[in-house]
A and B are shown apart, each in its own frame.
Chain A
Amino acid sequence: MAEERIVGIDLGTTNSLVAFMQGNMPVVIPGEDGLNLVPSVVAVPARSDAHRADPVVGNGARKYLATTPDRVIYSAKRLMGRGVEDVRDELALFPFHLADDIEPGEVLRIRLGDSEYTPPEISAFVLRQLKRNAERYFGAPVTKAVVTVPAYFNDAQRQATKDAGRMAGLDVLRLVNEPTAAALAYGLDRQKDGIIAVYDLGGGTFDVSILKLNEGIFEVIATNGDTHLGGDDIDNLLIAVALNDILGEEALDLRISPEAVQAIRKSVIDAKIALSSQDDVSINIEMTGALKYQRTLSREQFEQLIAPVLARTTAPCKQAIADAGITAAQIDEVVLVGGSTRIPAVQRLVNDLFELNARGKKPHTDINPDEVVALGAAVQAHILGGGSSVTEDMLLLDITPLSLGIEALGGVVAKIIQRNSTIPASATEHFTTGVDGQTNVAIHVVQGERELAKDCRSLARFDLKNIPPMSAGLPRIEVKFLIDANGILHVSAREQRSGKEAAVEVKPTYGLTDEQVESMILESFDFAEQDIYQRQLIESRTEVDTILAAVQKAPANPAWHQLTSEEHAEIARLAAELRALKDGEDLTAIRKGTEALDKATRRFAELMMDDAVTTAIGGHTMQSAGDKLAAGNNLGDAPNAPHPFAPAEIK
């Protein structure tokens, strides 16, 4: 195959998936465990040596939740592009620990064991796993991907996702909005013109998008949502109920025990899922210390409990419909996306919001709501890769979900690109200086719908530098703001009187600079595997030197003469082989050779040991035997796999 495959990735709050276009159909690529969903869970197991342990991702990471929850993180997507002041409340119910020294406006760092990781690094671990799954499936490298993001993600959250891709060694060709991707997956089968709405309630985010389909063009006309609303919030409600029950019945406050909270989380999620198909469910949680928690929960109680969470999706839907300039009755089809849309109460709400029952319609659920976004991403990846007859007329015209503005005098926002504008979109603004000879102008760019800059999302502060010194008000600096097809902002500036390009220095709020991203790639990714390999190679060569030196000295030892001549010949042959292998790069061969030689010399080592013990106190002999034994013990360990699953740290 001449051209490299481009994969589509759904980087979800709860689960992530990778898919590609197989012929005319997008399909999900399963992981090594045969499952399509890779839980977005990352564990950093303890390791005895000084090196950073390799993270474990997915189902393999889940088991650490029960044993070492302080080394595991899930739902990290909720932390992407956010500041410490945004997440404090929300972290109360998650077992994550932030680093203590994060300043407001700085990118977050989460403590996992002894190390700290930024949210993009954690997402990069997940992306890297998906990349590996795809590479294993194709038997070929995968370096290009389309990655989906919630439609309502702001610039910082999008940039953080792109950074994560880069750290994972993926060239992210496009960020696609999740609901739009879902529409693409549906649109593939039934190219029917009309207006569709996508209601996407996932693990941690809610989006609603309204699209106009016209002869293969998917034109998004309005989008709205809440990047902190999803299944996680339902889980947290149920956990709070259980914790309260236990506090009341047993006078036990389990909030302080992350292990117990995790056990409860697992059980209530199972209960939640069961309640989508049955009327009541009994929750049984056995915790350490012979503590049992038991209660039944009816669907009615469940629905009452979660009603406030579901109600929060109403206003965004109504706003999107209003922004689209239509009424609910003009929407031809509604597509449901995200695991949480399996909840019957959610489906009823959608029926009401979009007046579906009254019009004899039903929301579409025929494509698995957990997979539809990844499948759509695969379709878009296929289109970017040149497409085929099946995608020939398909073109996605997406929009920016939030208005872009500049902080003007008095902290008021001057909007320069309105929300729901088709992207790429641009705006040009002019600035000047206030003081004679001023050579710098600072611009504060924000995103959001509120009137005051302090109520909007701070995106970045741009410093326009190298403005030729002139009298105040004379320079005319033209600044061009451009939102690209990924929904990410670019800024360029020019001083028009001198025609000089002004240097733009960006200070992203809650973001990483290019250099930081670059350093994280070096530290933990692209070279990590190679680094580990090199380290292991060096260690193995040292072992080879030790054992060969011992073999060299062996004939001088009386024990040597107790071996047979066959044994002498075998040891000499293996030693010669190993000497030849030593300077090569084949770690496995070196290890095998070392192991073989060690095995062949084991009887000699035992004899030498016996001699040393029986012939008494010769410290000199004792030491060499000890060295020899130590070397033997090392070799007796299982060879280090490139990505070992280190044992859990038991405290």
Chain B
Amino acid sequence: MQLEKANPVNTACWSCGSPLTAARLVCEACGKIQPPSVAASYFEVFGLAGKLHVDLPALERTFYKLSRKLHPDIYARSSSEEQQWSLANTSLLNDAYRTLKSPLPRTEYLLKLEGVQLEDPSHADKQARTPPDLLEEVFELNMQLEEMRMNRNVGEEDLTLRHDLENAKIQFDSQLAAADTELESLFARWDQAVDASDDAQKTNVKEKLTALLDRRRYLRNLVRDVDEALSN
């Protein structure tokens, strides 16, 4: 089954001929669904500039409004062509909403649009580079996790070790919170740079965001490992 064709950009509605706006998913004039054209960015779908602070209630309102125009339920009696377009455009809308409503996927998506190669989260779990300032703590943590595993294998429980791990978790949790705070401030700096069209500043923030996301992902995996060890 062929899901979508990479059509050239359509500038006018196929049905009424009115000019199409931004993401070209639906005609504002006659309400007809439009064939998927060269993929609009997720930000364009929502009529947003590529900024990192997003007004979530407004995003939800736009999502509902667009869903009412694009959803396959509305085209159940239309031509099979229009049904295909509705399917393609609604999946684009849903993918965009899912990505933009959460800060991390939103940031990752923006960086990808900006041409940054992020570590693939599905493969990077174990082999990720350890941030230099965490080397010592991670080394100690891995020793403790290993000891915990060995104890469990012989059916022993070392309360001191458990206590140490709990402390380590508290520490990593707070580092994770610090990373989130830093992310917030980078969001603000990115948005300012976009408003000011300050390319140098954008490049600077982009690098910082990339490093921060890698660090955050690394910390999250550590916390997950500790949680796993403690819950057993």
Determine whether B94 belongs to the interface, using a CB cutoff of 8 Å to chain A: yes
Contact A397 B98 (CB under 8 A): no
Q: Return B55 CB to nearest CB of chain A, in Å.
A: 17
Contact B77 A424 (CB under 8 A): no
Query: Knowing A386-B77, A414-B123 touch, does A425 contact B68 (C-beta < 8 A)?
Result: no
Contact A422 B94 (CB under 8 A): yes
User: Which chain B residues border A384 with CB–CB below 8 Å?
Assistant: 73, 76-77
Give bound CA distance, A424 to B74, whole Å: 14
Q: Return B123 CB to nearest CB of chain A, in Å.
A: 7
User: Which chain B residues border A217 with CB–CB below 8 Å?
Assistant: 64, 67-68
Query: Knowing A422-B97, A423-B94, A426-B91 touch, does A395 contact B67 (C-beta < 8 A)?
Result: yes
Q: Which of A28-36, A478-486, A583-591 binds B?
A: A478-486
Give bound CA distance, A395 to B2, whole Å: 27
User: Which chain A residues border B91 with CB–CB below 8 Å?
Assistant: 423-426, 482-483
Determine whether B92 belongs to the interface, using a CB cutoff of 8 Å to chain A: yes
- Give the most central of B64, B76, B87: most A CB within 10 Å: B76
Q: Return B96 CB to nearest CB of chain A, in Å.
A: 11
Q: Return B7 CB to nearest CB of chain A, in Å.
A: 14
Contact B97 A385 (CB under 8 A): no
Q: Return A428 CB to nearest CB of chain B, in Å.
A: 9
Give bound CA distance, A491 to B4, whole Å: 11
- Nearest A residue to B97 via CB reads A422
- Nearest B residue to A486 via CB reads B72
Contact A492 B1 (CB under 8 A): yes
Determine whether B216 belongs to the interface, using a CB cutoff of 8 Å to chain A: no
Q: Return A475 CB to nearest CB of chain B, in Å.
A: 18
CB 8 Å contact bits of B80-118 with A (1 = contact, 0 = none): 000000011011101101100000000000000000000
Give the interface residue-count category, chain B: 20 to 34
Q: Return B221 CB to nearest CB of chain A, in Å.
A: 13
Give bound CA distance, A485 to B93, whole Å: 13
Determine whether A377 belongs to the interface, using a CB cutoff of 8 Å to chain B: no
Give bound CA distance, A422 to B97, whole Å: 9
Contact A485 B87 (CB under 8 A): yes
Give bound CA distance, A482 to B92, whole Å: 10
Q: CB < 8 Å: which of A395, A422, A424, A492 contacts B68?
A: A395
- Nearest B residue to A384 via CB reads B76
Contact B76 A490 (CB under 8 A): no
Contact A173 B76 (CB under 8 A): yes
- Nearest B residue to A212 via CB reads B60
Q: Return B42 CB to nearest CB of chain A, in Å.
A: 12
Tell me the dominant secondary structure on chain B's binding face: helix
Determine whether A131 belongs to the interface, using a CB cutoff of 8 Å to chain B: no
User: Which chain B residues border A480 with CB–CB below 8 Å?
Assistant: 3-4
- Nearest B residue to A219 via CB reads B64
Contact B122 A415 (CB under 8 A): yes
Contact B87 A482 (CB under 8 A): yes
Give bound CA distance, A174 to B83, whole Å: 13
Contact A421 B123 (CB under 8 A): no
Give bound CA distance, A47 to B71, whole Å: 49
In A381-422, the 8 Å CB interface with B consists of: 383-386, 395-397, 408, 412, 414-415, 421-422
Give bound CA distance, A629 to B2, whole Å: 64
Give bound CA distance, A300 to B87, whole Å: 52
Residues of A within 8 A of B (CB-CB), count: 34
- Nearest B residue to A499 via CB reads B6
Query: Knowing A408-B123, A421-B94 touch, does A484 contact B87 (C-beta < 8 A)?
Result: yes
Determine whether A214 belongs to the interface, using a CB cutoff of 8 Å to chain B: yes
- Nearest A residue to B87 via CB reads A424
User: Which chain B residues border A214 with CB–CB below 8 Å?
Assistant: 64
User: Which chain A residues border B94 with CB–CB below 8 Å?
Assistant: 421-425
Give bound CA distance, A384 to B77, whole Å: 7
User: Which chain B residues border A426 with CB–CB below 8 Å?
Assistant: 3, 91-92, 95
Give bound CA distance, A423 to B76, whole Å: 16
In A469-520, the 8 Å CB interface with B consists of: 480, 482-485, 490-492, 501
Q: Return B108 CB to nearest CB of chain A, in Å.
A: 14
CB 8 Å contact bits of B50-86 with A (1 = contact, 0 = none): 0000000000000010011001111011000000000
Contact A482 B3 (CB under 8 A): yes
Give bound CA distance, A217 to B65, whole Å: 10
- Give the most central of A174, A386, A425, A501: most B CB within 10 Å: A425
User: Which chain B residues border A385 with CB–CB below 8 Å?
Assistant: 76-77
User: Which chain B residues border A482 with CB–CB below 8 Å?
Assistant: 3, 87-88, 91
User: Which chain A residues border B76 with CB–CB below 8 Å?
Assistant: 173-174, 384-385
Contact A484 B68 (CB under 8 A): no
Q: Return B36 CB to nearest CB of chain A, in Å.
A: 11
Give bound CA distance, A510 to B87, whole Å: 26
User: Which chain A residues border B71 with CB–CB below 8 Å?
Assistant: 395, 397, 485
CB 8 Å contact bits of A350-385 with B (1 = contact, 0 = none): 000000000000000000000000000000100111
Contact A424 B72 (CB under 8 A): yes
Contact A485 B73 (CB under 8 A): yes
User: Which chain B residues border A423 with CB–CB below 8 Å?
Assistant: 91, 94
Contact B122 A414 (CB under 8 A): yes
In A204-222, the 8 Å CB interface with B consists of: 214-215, 217, 219
Give bound CA distance, A395 to B90, whole Å: 13
Contact A424 B1 (CB under 8 A): no
User: Which chain B residues border A414 with CB–CB below 8 Å?
Assistant: 122-123
Give bound CA distance, A484 to B89, whole Å: 11
User: Which chain A residues border B88 with CB–CB below 8 Å?
Assistant: 482
Contact A425 B122 (CB under 8 A): no
The 6 tightest CB contacts between A and B, nearest first, are A424-B91, A384-B76, A414-B122, A426-B91, A422-B94, A485-B72
> What are 14 A-to-B residue pairs whose CB atoms are below 8 Å?
A174-B76, A217-B67, A219-B64, A408-B122, A408-B123, A423-B91, A424-B90, A425-B94, A425-B98, A480-B4, A484-B87, A485-B90, A492-B4, A501-B2
Interface residue ranges, A against B (CB under 8 Å): 173-174, 214-215, 217, 219, 380, 383-386, 395-397, 408, 412, 414-415, 421-427, 480, 482-485, 490-492, 501
